[in-house]
Structure 1
């Protein structure tokens, strides 16, 4: 019985329907296998290196002095991620070696954004988001 039927029955506008069935319940759906060959991966076949990401490396970016440059680069890199030639050009422009290094820079930014220096300049997450929107 759906929500509308329940409401109509509660208001007395519809007679309650009894639904009894001798049929067994439907079988459970077969579990979906996890296909490791997905073509929608972001890493273009190059795996993430979480040990590398744990170490700070801001590449050519200065988060304290010129956060707008990082936000603009991030926007352009994300927009051109699937175009490997364009992405490589943007990486070279910003001193980024490869996709793993880019993820390391992003992780470094994430840690920086929680630092006292970042909190002093951008007290709330909204302030940081506004700076990102202004840069892009």
Structure 2
């Protein structure tokens, strides 16, 4: 074996065909660590992907729940947003259908001045 662990970031951006590869990895002896935010799933990257139509966009969470129910992975949720102001997070709680059962997000964002544009005052 070349690798004993694989880390995947932005897992919400994987297409349904990619989920098939994840299934094989989950059945292997390789340790797989995945991080993603289903609330950031806003578009499809492939129009030719015909696999798992029931797990498109934010409904992809259903695939991860299915794998959890089969004992192939453990899901941990963190609904604390540290990047956005509480007003934005509050609005984001209403964007997705309640059918997704996303926990209500909260904000622990604190303005540090870094990376923010502010008007110059003379």
- Bucket of the pairwise TM-score, normalised by the shorter protein: under 0.3
Q: Which has more radius of gyration? A: 1
TM-score calculated relative to the size of structure 1: 0.24
TM-score calculated relative to the size of structure 2: 0.26
